[in-house]
Amino acid sequence: MTSDVTVYTDPNCPHCRRLKHYLDEHHIPYRNRDVTSDPAAVDELTQMNAPGVPVTRIGSETVIGFDPGRIEELLHAAAR
């Protein structure tokens, strides 16, 4: 179940912390983009029309908010 996973987060966001904890707990590797210190990450969120964080990109798919069911679904689909 390996895929290209990027998360856009704010260190002060409790949902972001839950998302990263979930990914760590399930041994899902990811790249973290901190929107408070990375202007390029903010630009990427704007291009995705994301209203806020957390946002998870799995391949070309976007998950807005903390949605473990959708994340699992996309990871399984990417592994096929």
Residue 49: which CATH number?
3.40.30.10
pLDDT bin (cut points 50, 70, 90) of residue 78 is confident
Q: Residue 29's domain spans which residues? A: 5-79
The 10s digit of each residue's pLDDT in 10-62 is 999 999 999 999 999 999 999 999 999 999 999 999 999 999 999 999 999 99
pTM above 0.85, yes or no: yes
Q: Is 74 helix (H, G, I), strand (E, B) or coil?
A: helix
- Please determine, for residue 1, whether its predicted confidence score (pLDDT) is greater than 50: no
Neighbouring residues of 54: CB distance < 8 A, sequence distance ≥ 6: 7, 8, 9, 13, 15, 16, 19, 65, 66
How confident is the model at residue 3, as a pLDDT? 65
Q: How many domains does the chain have?
A: 1
